[in-house]
């Protein structure tokens, strides 16, 4: 996305709630951006990527304990 790894935008955020940690492997097979769940960890070790809203909501729900 940015060849020199300098990301041109910075966004100040304020947390709105406390989320729990999660074992990403437990939902890896249900995330669309993970094409091979057997190596799910490699998908979280990359640079910033854009994910679909459904995947974001699935991860958020899992972290809130609703999945």
Give me the pLDDT at residue 36, please: 92
In this prediction, residue 66 carries a pLDDT of: 64
Of the candidates 21, 16, 20, 42, the residue with the CA atom closest to the CA atom of residue 31:
42
Q: In the chain, where are the structural domains located?
A: 24-63
Residue 25, classed as helix, strand or coil, is helix
Question: 30, 40 in Cβ contact below 8 A?
Answer: no
What digits encode the pLDDT tens for the residues 14-64?
776 777 777 788 889 999 999 998 998 888 887 778 899 999 999 888 888
Please say if the pLDDT value at position 1 is more than 60. no
pTM score over 0.85: no
Measuring CA to CA, how many Å separate 28 from each of 7, 49, 50?
27, 16, 16
């Amino acid at each position: 996305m940015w060849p020199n790894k300098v990301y041109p935008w910075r966004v100040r955020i304020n947390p709105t709630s406390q989320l729990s940690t999660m074992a990403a492997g437990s939902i890896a097979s249900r995330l669309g951006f993970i094409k091979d769940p057997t190596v799910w960890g490699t998908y979280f070790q990359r640079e910033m990527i854009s994910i679909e809203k459904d995947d974001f909501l699935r991860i958020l729900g899992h972290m809130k304990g609703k999945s």
